[in-house]
Structure 1
Amino acid sequence: MLNFSQITKQYGSLTVLKDVSLQVARGECVCVAGANSQGKTTLLSIGAGLLTPEKGRVAKDGGVGFVPQENALLEELSVRDNLLLWYSACRKKTSLCFREDSPEARLGLSSFAKQKISRLSGGMKKRASIAAALAGDPDYLLMDEPFAALDLESKEEISLLLRQLASQGKGILFSSHDPAQIAAAAQRLYVLRDAHIRQEVCPDPALSLEERTRRIIELIGR
């Protein structure tokens, strides 16, 4: 379990998170939803160990990988060279890179191994970022706005990837304000507003995608 307990974070006099608690289990895909500037990035950064809260703690029973919203890969290096750097940073054997069972191979990056990151589409860049975060084989994957600046086809591909990773036993926590993709990917939803978690929802799988999307629009907009 990845457990955020009573997280409070301030920037000067501004409180962006106040006593925020949530949990993610292995094998499930969970979303933190909310409008821009509601603290979603801060919460995920705390979960990834990049920021320290003023109060509260994050407990985890395994490793955590993090995919930031902005591309963190080196644009002028190839996909392979970027991933070799991540394998080395994770103290993994670089010979494992692009093996048949590697994350990058499963993410469909094998034919793009020699391409520079700068020449990839937005969707393929996101796949490369996910592969980098999975290089150390973490048990949990945190993703900040994984659908931002992607076309509809790429969004649908990333939604499918999130569901696949969860089905493989990864615990997925992603932030988003895209109701359609939240409806497509998330098994549970936390709504973050005014520094607090306002609601936890389990979208009804019996509803159509359109109905789930409409319901999430109502929840986020309240």
Structure 2
Amino acid sequence: KRAVFGQVGIDMIAGPSEILIICDGKTDPDWIAMDLFSQAEHDEDAQSILLSPDAEFISMVESSINKLLPTMSRQDIIKKSLKDRGALIHTSDMNEAIDIANMIAPEHLELSVENPEELLESIVNAGAIFMGRNTCESLGDYCAGPNHVLPTSGTARFSSPLGVYDFQKKSSIIMVSEKGATSLGKVAATLANGEGLQAHAESAKYRIKS
């Protein structure tokens, strides 16, 4: 994509992969550990984060990580990714977890809670949101949901997943009446003169009717 950017349109330069999980402490800790692995195994720069208000549960997930890691074929990559870019974060409550998630703006966000719909309205920055304990991110990679080209590196704060709209081209259309040209021309001429762009100012002033 970098090689052809500028010659053709592209969607985005995406990567590395990311997952952030908000959990209420009631999901099987082995599930959460494996969900973290599912992104960490991509490469050493992948980011895997768990947020939970349940400190005991976080300890259980850590134990699951230590138990399951030796069974993974890509354990060296997972281990380094978790060491360098992973985190198990104890939050004061679910509201703080949501605030942190919105600040990070993850590519993949799992809401591994009893009623994910109750949290959804508060999530404003995420590429794709996986609702409930049974909705693991890897399903979205392969067979569930819409297009899975997603914003990474915090760009979900201002961009969206790839969609049909990205393949549409638009033009701005401007049409000004004689009266409008007189009104707007004065504004444009003033601003153009302020920038030292005489031709811009004169072009606008020519159309001003006294």
Larger radius of gyration: 2
Q: What's the TM-score, normalizing by structure 2?
A: 0.27
Say which structure is richer in strand: 1
Higher relative contact order (CA 8 A, sep 6+): 1
